[in-house]
């Protein structure tokens, strides 16, 4: 069975931001807003899954003396 490739995180995030901007303008019909919301939820879920997978990879790469050390990712480090 072929594995489905994950959507590009950056592309999904950009699309999500665009949906939010369109919804914030308030020019959509109720039906249009609901469609945007539904798509936004799916994109947010996809982005969260990609971030979780990346976090798992980082955690696996942080090893010391053969033992896995789990520590939070800090942007300031």
- The residue-averaged pLDDT of 24-50 equals 94
Answering whether pTM is above 0.75, one says no
* 65 — pLDDT class (breaks 50, 70, 90): low
The class of domain 9-67 in CATH terms is mainly alpha
Residue 6 is predicted with a pLDDT of: 54
For 26, left (φ over 0), alpha (ψ -120 to 50), or beta?
Answer: left
Residue in 21, 23, 17 with CA at minimum distance from that of residue 47 = 17
Domain ranges of the chain: 9-67
SS3 28: coil
Structure tokens at 70: 């789990």
Residue 59 is predicted with a pLDDT of: 74
In tens, the pLDDT along 5-32 reads 456 899 999 999 999 999 999 999 999 9
- What share of the chain has pLDDT > 90, as a percent? 56
CA 28 vs. chain centroid, Å, equals: 25
């Amino acid at each position: 069975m072929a594995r489905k490739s994950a959507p590009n995180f950056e592309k999904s995030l950009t699309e999500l931001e665009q949906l939010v901007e369109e919804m914030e303008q308030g020019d959509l019909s109720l039906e249009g807003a609901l469609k945007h919301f539904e798509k936004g939820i799916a994109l947010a879920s996809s982005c969260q899954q990609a971030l979780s997978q990346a976090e798992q990879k980082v955690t696996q790469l942080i090893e010391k003396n053969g033992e896995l050390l789990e520590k939070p990712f800090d942007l300031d480090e």
